[in-house]
Amino acid sequence: MANERILLVLSNPEVRQIAEDQTLSPEGYQVSVATSCEEAERMAANTRPDIMVIGDQLEDGDHLELAAKILEQRPTMPVIVYSHLGTRTVPLEVVRLGVIDWLSPPLRSDRLLASVQRGLKRRKHWQDWLDIEARRQTGPLLQRLDELEALAQVGQSVTAHLDIDRVLKNALEAAVSLTGAEEGSILLYDEDTSDLYMRAALNFQDEFVSTFRLETEDSLAGEVFHSGEPKVINEQTPQKIKTAYLVHSLIYVPLKAHGESIGVLGVDNRESGRGFEDRHVTLLSAIADYAAIAIENANLYSHTEVERSKLERILRQIQDGVIVLDASGQPTLINRAARKALELGEADFSNWHYSRVFTHEGLIDVIEGKNEDPYRVELELAGGRTYNANVTEIPDIGRVVTLHDITYLKELDRVKSDFVTAVSHDLRSPLTAILGYVELITRAGEVNQQQSMFIDRVQTSVKNITDLINDLLDLGRIEVGLDENIERVPLASIIGYSMDGIKHLADQKGQDLSVNASGEVPAVVGNPIQLRQMLDNILGNAVKYTPNGGTITLRTGQEDGQVYLQIVDTGPGIPQESQARIFDKFYRANNVPEEIQGTGLGLAIVQSIVENHRGRIWVDSKVGEGSTFTVVLPVTE
Ligand code: ADP
């Protein structure tokens, strides 16, 4: 049963009744009705009828104008006119308008039905013709679209997969299907043998693929490889590519990476005589570009992989311990040496947080940057071995901890200290004897002025050596750590004794020596002798290096559970580059006047004492203005 949509534009109710109720609706058509031009236009746009019947005598416009307007918008829709106009004029106008039929009153059902059926038939013809025509026009476009889609897929597979075999297979499948070829192959250049081998193939026999080799001289593929230009064969008689490899038609396009030929992509027909077109060459060239990128990527990847595994082997085998932690604190590498040093065995620690992997507090502290030196710490590890642990932050990777075994250095240091202590000790007695006897010389009888000067020099030199020996012995003792003599030490009295002890020297140089204490000076836990020596050394330096008439102030106070001592002088200052080194043994800055004697050990002793008391020391100084030594010690609860 017909269910096409029919729009009737009829003003006369009786005519409407005949058309709709008596004729079209009973035939199963979907009928809608408009009574004016305006309504007709709106409904034509909304209901998109398959056919329209337009009657005359419409109140708001001319029916033929309406028909013309509708046909302009939808030229393939059949329009039938029902009009009272004379039979002569109307058919001519009807023909000009493109209206398909004209009915004149009185309206007869059979004529209307026949006219509608004819109109619908005509409409179907038009529609079918349009479809065929559209397909004819869009066919090549659709084919191009398919080709583009296939190319895009090859492109996608290049970026989506690292598996080179899979990518090349995809590329060959696209090449064969887009060109309608029987088989396809990718030939790559082998630098060692200077010929082409089959890296990937589609529809070739496996054995043929594995044994295939083509010389680049004197072969079609070689010509394409060398010239970088595509080649097409379309022949009726099969052409020889290689013994027993005859083809009717073939395309070879070069594979190029960075402008250099690396191989050839080919498709061919051995059985059918079907030829190839120019557009196939274009398509194949595009696929070849993708294939070349894939091969290049794979080469780069395998090169990176080789380098990476080389690096990993080096890191694993290296004598120093290496631990790599990712940004979340999980180890991505703990090499053999680190496992041995930290006694970690062979366990797999991936997905473990470092705080679970390592038990050594010092190591965890340095990883977390909690140490005084946030990047370095000495660790006493298994078997009495000492390691220097360094932590390095590496952006985008995490943290790397290296463990360097410094046990031999520690041992050397100990042997050296023992030796120095022993020698110093043994030297002290003869030196005391020398000093004693030199003193006796003057008592034993008259000495002349020159002899007296020599005796003075001997005494000064012996005193210098004795100072050095005393410093060395002190240092040796202090470096061992805090001895048993630990007590609650009221710092105020230490300061008092030290100031008293140095006062006469400051007076001799006309210096202003004073203490400036803010609040009560607290007590610390420690060794009173060492603390006194620390203060003596810093104050001694201040007096020694500050010129006559200068000022030396000792400031002290308490802050955040710590006590600080600041010795401020108006001396020569310490050059910037020397400030980090003045606490080293035997180091003396180059701006000290030659006549000011010293061993270069005083501040090394001070630093050891401060460390023994879990304190900190630093210097702020400007050449020509003076120096400020600051010592901070924890206050006793
Ligand atoms: P020294 O026996 O030479 O005084 P120290 O270890 O006590 O050895 O001091 C190391 C060096 O630090 C000194 O040689 C000097 O260059 C510098 N120094 C120490 N204190 C002062 C100071 N108050 N003013 C200027 N330089 C100083």
Q: Is 70 exceeded by the pLDDT of residue 7?
A: yes
Structural domain 321-403, CATH architecture: 2-Layer Sandwich (3.30)
DSSP code string of 191-216: TTTTEEEEEEEESS-HHHHHH-EEES
Query: Taking Cα atoms as reference points, which of 163, 216, 169 lies closest to residue 191?
Result: 216
Q: Which residue has the higher pLDDT, 601 or 237?
A: 601
Q: Which residue has the higher pLDDT, 464 or 227?
A: 227
Q: Is 80 exceeded by the pLDDT of residue 146?
A: yes
Question: Element (H or E) spanning 516, and its range?
Answer: strand 512-517
For atom 7 of ligand 1, the residue with the nearest CA is 602
Instruction: Assign 105 a pLDDT band (cuts: 50, 70, 90).
Output: confident
For a mutational test of ligand 1's pocket, the pick from 539, 592, 595, 601, i.e. the residue with the most ligand atoms closer than 8 A to its C-beta, is 592
- Tokens 């496996």 locate to 206
- For the domain spanning 161-304, the CATH number is 3.30.450.40
Q: What is the pLDDT, as a whole number, of residue 429?
A: 84
Q: What is the pLDDT, as a whole number, of residue 371?
A: 77
Assess contact for 517 and 532: CB atoms under 8 A: no
Sign of the alpha-carbon dihedral angle for 512, 517, 521, 527: negative
Q: What is the pLDDT, as a whole number, of residue 637?
A: 62
Residues in contact with 568: Cβ distance below 8 Å, sequence separation at least 6, in sequence order = 551, 552, 553, 554, 555, 626, 627, 628
- How far is it, in rounded angstroms, from Cα 335 to Cα 322? 6
**CA of 592, closest atom in ligand 1:** 16
Q: Cα of 591 to ligand 1 centre, how many Å?
A: 10
- How far is it, in rounded angstroms, from Cα 121 to Cα 127? 10
Residues in contact with 88: Cβ distance below 8 Å, sequence separation at least 6, in sequence order = none
Q: What is the pLDDT, as a whole number, of residue 87?
A: 59
Q: Cα of 52 to ligand 1 centre, how many Å?
A: 113
Q: What is the mean pLDDT of residues 249-257?
A: 93
Q: What is the pLDDT, as a whole number, of residue 150?
A: 80
Q: What is the mean pLDDT of residues 493-516?
A: 95
For atom 22 of ligand 1, the residue with the nearest CA is 542
- Tokens 């009786």 locate to 14
CA 450 vs. chain centroid, Å, equals: 79
- How far is it, in rounded angstroms, from Cα 345 to Cα 339? 6
List the structure tokens of 157.
Answer: 């597979």
- How far is it, in rounded angstroms, from Cα 577 to Cα 572? 15
- How far is it, in rounded angstroms, from Cα 447 to Cα 543? 34
Q: Cα of 623 to ligand 1 centre, how many Å?
A: 13
- How far is it, in rounded angstroms, from Cα 590 to Cα 600? 12
The one-letter amino acid at 26? P
Lowest mean pLDDT among 76-90, 108-122, 263-277: 76-90
Q: Cα of 545 to ligand 1 centre, how many Å?
A: 7
Q: What is the pLDDT, as a whole number, of residue 243?
A: 66
Assess contact for 123 and 76: CB atoms under 8 A: yes
Q: Which residues approach ligand 1 with their CB closer than 6 A?
A: 537, 541-542, 545, 569, 571-572, 574, 582, 587-589, 592, 598-604, 627
Q: What is the mean pLDDT of residues 263-269?
A: 94
Please report, for residues 35, 280, 468, the alpha-carbon distance to residue 144 in angstroms, rounded to integers and kept in the order given. 49, 11, 95
Domain 161-304 shares a fold with domain 321-403:
yes
Q: Is 60 exceeded by the pLDDT of residue 1?
A: no
Lowest mean pLDDT among 407-421, 478-492, 595-609: 478-492
Q: Cα of 419 to ligand 1 centre, how many Å?
A: 26
For a mutational test of ligand 1's pocket, the pick from 466, 472, 544, 545, i.e. the residue with the most ligand atoms closer than 8 A to its C-beta, is 545
Residue 17 per-residue DSSP state: I
Q: Which own/partner pairs from 371-379 qualify as long-range (CB within 8 Å, at least 24 positions apart)? A: 372/616, 378/406, 379/403
Q: How many CB atoms lie within 10 A of CB 431?
A: 16
Q: What is the pLDDT, as a whole number, of residue 228?
A: 93
For atom 16 of ligand 1, the residue with the nearest CA is 589
Q: Which residue has the higher pLDDT, 7 or 521?
A: 7
Q: Which CATH fold topology does 5-129 show?
A: Rossmann fold (3.40.50)
Q: Phi, psi (5° rounding) for residue 489?
A: -110, 115
Structural domain 487-634, CATH architecture: 2-Layer Sandwich (3.30)
- Tokens 């309504």 locate to 39
Q: What is the pLDDT, as a whole number, of residue 2?
A: 66
Q: Is 90 exceeded by the pLDDT of residue 229?
A: yes
Quick one: angle between helices 63-73 and 89-97, nearest 10? 20
For a mutational test of ligand 1's pocket, the pick from 574, 618, 619, i.e. the residue with the most ligand atoms closer than 8 A to its C-beta, is 574
- How far is it, in rounded angstroms, from Cα 322 to Cα 333? 7
Q: Cα of 248 to ligand 1 centre, how many Å?
A: 96
For atom 2 of ligand 1, the residue with the nearest CA is 598
Q: Is 60 exceeded by the pLDDT of residue 499?
A: yes
pLDDT digits (tens, 9 = 90+) for 272-328: 878 898 989 998 999 999 888 888 888 888 899 899 889 888 888 899 999 999 999
Burial class of residue 10 (count of CB atoms within 10 Å of its CB; 0-12, 13-18, 19+): buried
Q: Where are the domains of the chain?
A: 5-129, 161-304, 321-403, 409-480, 487-634
Q: Cα of 463 to ligand 1 centre, how many Å?
A: 19
List the structure tokens of 381.
Answer: 């590890």
pTM, to two decimals: 0.48
Assess contact for 281 and 251: CB atoms under 8 A: yes
Q: Is 70 exceeded by the pLDDT of residue 484?
A: no
**CA of 471, closest atom in ligand 1:** 2
Question: Element (H or E) spanning 497, and its range?
Answer: helix 491-508
Helix count and strand count (H, E) for the chain: 18, 23
Q: Which stretches of 79-152 are assigned E, i.e. beta strand?
A: 79-82, 101-103
Q: Cα of 597 to ligand 1 centre, how many Å?
A: 10
**CA of 538, closest atom in ligand 1:** 20
Q: What is the pLDDT, as a whole number, of residue 91?
A: 66
- How far is it, in rounded angstroms, from Cα 464 to Cα 459? 9
Q: Which residue has the higher pLDDT, 614 or 159?
A: 614
**CA of 603, closest atom in ligand 1:** 6
pLDDT digits (tens, 9 = 90+) for 625-636: 999 999 999 987
The pLDDT mean for the chain works out to: 89
N-to-C CA span, the chain: 106
- How far is it, in rounded angstroms, from Cα 46 to Cα 32? 11
Q: Phi, psi (5° rounding) for residue 162?
A: -95, -10
For a mutational test of ligand 1's pocket, the pick from 552, 582, 609, i.e. the residue with the most ligand atoms closer than 8 A to its C-beta, is 582
Instruction: Assign 350 a pLDDT band (cuts: 50, 70, 90).
Output: confident
Q: Choose from 163-167, 444-448, 496-500 the range with maximum mean pLDDT.
A: 496-500
Q: Is 80 exceeded by the pLDDT of residue 485?
A: no
**CA of 583, closest atom in ligand 1:** 6
- How far is it, in rounded angstroms, from Cα 601 to Cα 537? 10
Q: What percent of the chain has pLDDT over 70?
A: 97
For a mutational test of ligand 1's pocket, the pick from 465, 505, 603, 623, i.e. the residue with the most ligand atoms closer than 8 A to its C-beta, is 603
Residue 382 per-residue DSSP state: G
Q: Choose from 31-35, 241-245, 417-421, 464-468 the range with maximum mean pLDDT.
A: 31-35
Please report, for residues 490, 509, 538, 626, the alpha-carbon distance to residue 567 in angstroms, rounded to integers and kept in the order given. 18, 17, 7, 10
Q: Cα of 51 to ligand 1 centre, how many Å?
A: 112
Q: Cα of 514 to ligand 1 centre, how many Å?
A: 20
Q: Phi, psi (5° rounding) for residue 318?
A: -55, 150
Q: Is 90 exceeded by the pLDDT of residue 21?
A: yes
Instruction: Assign 51 a pLDDT band (cuts: 50, 70, 90).
Output: very high
**CA of 573, closest atom in ligand 1:** 25
SS3 530: helix
Q: Which residue has the higher pLDDT, 200 or 424?
A: 200
Per-residue b/e over 354-385, b at no fewer than 16 CB within 10 Å? beebbebebbeebbeeeeeeeeebebebeeeb
Q: What is the pLDDT, as a whole number, of residue 606?
A: 95
For atom 19 of ligand 1, the residue with the nearest CA is 541
Q: What is the mean pLDDT of residues 152-166?
A: 77
Q: What is the mean pLDDT of residues 115-120?
A: 93
Q: Cα of 294 to ligand 1 centre, how many Å?
A: 68
- How far is it, in rounded angstroms, from Cα 172 to Cα 11? 69
pLDDT digits (tens, 9 = 90+) for 381-423: 888 899 999 999 999 889 999 999 999 999 998 888 888 878 8
Q: Cα of 601 to ligand 1 centre, how many Å?
A: 9
Q: Cα of 544 to ligand 1 centre, how many Å?
A: 9
Assess contact for 616 and 632: CB atoms under 8 A: yes
Please report, for residues 235, 451, 453, 464, the alpha-carbon distance to residue 441 in angstroms, rounded to integers and kept in the order given. 126, 10, 13, 20
For a mutational test of ligand 1's pocket, the pick from 511, 535, 541, 597, i.e. the residue with the most ligand atoms closer than 8 A to its C-beta, is 541
Instruction: Assign 18 a pLDDT band (cuts: 50, 70, 90).
Output: very high
For a mutational test of ligand 1's pocket, the pick from 546, 588, 594, i.e. the residue with the most ligand atoms closer than 8 A to its C-beta, is 588
pLDDT digits (tens, 9 = 90+) for 331-341: 988 999 999 99
Indicate the class that CATH gives domain 409-480: mainly alpha
Instruction: Assign 31 a pLDDT band (cuts: 50, 70, 90).
Output: very high
